[in-house]
Amino acid sequence: MMAWRVHEFGPPEVMKFETLLHPEPGPGEVLIKVEAAGVGPWDGWIRAGKSALPQPLPLTLGSDLSGEIVAVGPGVSPERAGEQVYGVTNPRFIGAYAEYALASAEMVSGKPTSLTHVESASIPVIAVTAWQALFDHAQLKAGQSVVIHGAAGNVGSYAVQLARHAGVQTVATVSTGDVSFVRNLGADKVIDYRAERFEQEIMEADAVIDLVGGETQTLSFQVLRRGGKLISAVSRPDQDLAKHHGVEASFFLVEVTSQYLTEIARLLDGGKLRTNVGVVLPLADAREAHFMLEGARPRPKGKIVLAVGAH
C-alpha cells in the first residue's frame, strides 16, 4: 500500500510517498481501508517536529479518516468488519495518510449516513474539539453566553453551530469577509475585529472559547463575568491574569472517542450541523496540502481533505 512517511522532521519537502506492507491490527485496533483523510494544522506540527507528544520516527502522517473496517484485532467484535466509520487513528494522531490505516476501535464510530467519506473525514478532530471546549471544559448550559474567537475557522464554525443548537447565546469575532458566513451559521452577534474592539462591546460573558491566542486571549479576560471561564485550544492562558479577574482559564488537548463521534454524527444526519470542505486533493498530493497549511499556496476556507481513491 502507499503511505506518506516522514523519516526526519522539517518542511513539506521531507514528506515521502512510499510503499509499505499492510499493517496488522493489534489488541483493540481495527484496520481501515481509507477512503478519505482530513488534513489539519496538527499534521503540520507533527511533520515539523513541533508536536506536543513524543513522535518516534519514521512515521506515517495523518489522523482524521473515513473508510471501511476490513479487519479487527483481538478484543474487537468481529461484527465490526464491513462497518463504514469515521474518526481518528490513535492518541498520537498519526497513520491516516495511507491506503490502509490502523485505528483504535474506541476512536472511530459509524460515519454519518447522510455524508460522503470526504465530508466525514473533514469532521472528527475539529468538531470534537468544539464540543469539548463548549460542554466539557466551559460547561455551558442553555441560556448562558459564550464568546467564540476565530469563529469562521474550522473549529470555530462547529462551535457556533453546537452552541446555537444547545441554546447558548453566541458572540462571534471574525474578520470582515467572514461576517455573513458566521451569521448564517447562527451566531447571535458577530463582531468584525478589524472594525470594532470586542473588549469594548462585550460584558459579563459566561465563557470565552479562544481559538486565536496572543493579544486576543489576553484581552478576553476583560469580557468575562467573575467566575466565568476562558478555554483555549491554542495556548496556555496566564494564570495571574485569571486570578486578577476572578475567572478560570485553561488550555486543553482534544480527546476523540467513539461516544463524541456518535453524537456528532447524529446531529449531522439530523441536519443540525453543516460541514465545510474547502479543498479535496488526491492522496498523492498530500505534500501540496501541507504547502497550503504553511501558507505557501493559496487555499479556500474550510477543511483540506485527501481523497484516497482519487487519482
Quick: pLDDT tens for 51-79: 988 999 999 999 999 999 999 999 999 99
Q: Cα(64)–Cα(67) distance, rounded to whole angstroms? A: 11
**Is the pLDDT reported for residue 153 higher than 90?**
yes
Please state the length of the chain. Answer: 311
Residue 190: exposure state from Cβ atoms within 10 A (0-12, 13-18, ≥19): buried
Which residue, among 241, 223, 288, has the nearest Cα to 13 in the 3D structure?
Answer: 288
Residue 206 CA: distances (Å) to CA of 149, 189, 263? 14, 15, 24
Task: Check: CB of residue 309 under 8 Å from CB of residue 286.
Answer: no
Q: Give me the pLDDT at residue 311, please.
A: 46
* Terminal-to-terminal C-alpha distance of the chain: 15
**Is the pLDDT reported for residue 297 higher than 60?**
yes
Measured from the Cβ of residue 225, the count of other Cβ atoms closer than 10 Å reads 15
Query: What are the pLDDT digits (tens) for 80-113?
Result: 999 999 999 999 999 999 999 999 999 999 999 9
Residue 100 C-alpha cell reads as 490502509
Mean of per-residue pLDDT scores for the chain: 96
Q: Give me the pLDDT at residue 300, please.
A: 82
- Domain range 2-123+275-307, CATH class: alpha beta
Q: Give me the pLDDT at residue 52, please.
A: 83
Query: What are the pLDDT digits (tens) for 11-59?
Result: 999 999 999 999 999 999 999 999 999 999 999 999 999 998 899 999 9
Residue 216 CA: distances (Å) to CA of 67, 81, 141, 229, 236? 38, 46, 24, 15, 13
Q: Give me the pLDDT at residue 281, please.
A: 97
Task: Check: CB of residue 43 under 8 Å from CB of residue 63.
Answer: yes
Which one-letter DSSP state was computed for residue 11? Answer: S
Extents of the domains making up the chain: 2-123+275-307, 126-251
Angle between helix axes 286-293 and 41-48 (nearest 10 degrees) is 100
Confidence class of residue 310 from pLDDT cuts 50, 70 and 90? low
Q: What is the mean pLDDT of residues 285-302?
A: 92
Cα 80 to chain centroid distance, Å, stands at 25
Residue 79 C-alpha cell reads as 461484527
Cα atoms in the 13 Å half-sphere on the side-chain side of 307? 13
Radius of gyration of the chain, Cα coordinates, nearest whole angstrom: 20
Query: What are the pLDDT digits (tens) for 208-237?
Result: 999 999 999 999 999 999 999 999 999 999
Residues facing 102 on adjacent strands: 31
Q: Which of 59-63, 92-96, 192-196, 248-252 has the lowest mean pLDDT?
A: 192-196
Query: What are the pLDDT digits (tens) for 105-149?
Result: 999 999 999 999 999 999 999 999 999 999 999 999 999 999 999
Residues facing 189 on adjacent strands: 171
Is the bond into 58 cis (omega within 30 degrees of 0)? yes
> What percent of the chain is predicted at pLDDT more than 90?
96
Q: Give me the pLDDT at residue 278, please.
A: 94
Kindly report the CATH number that applies to the domain delimited by 126-251.
3.40.50.720
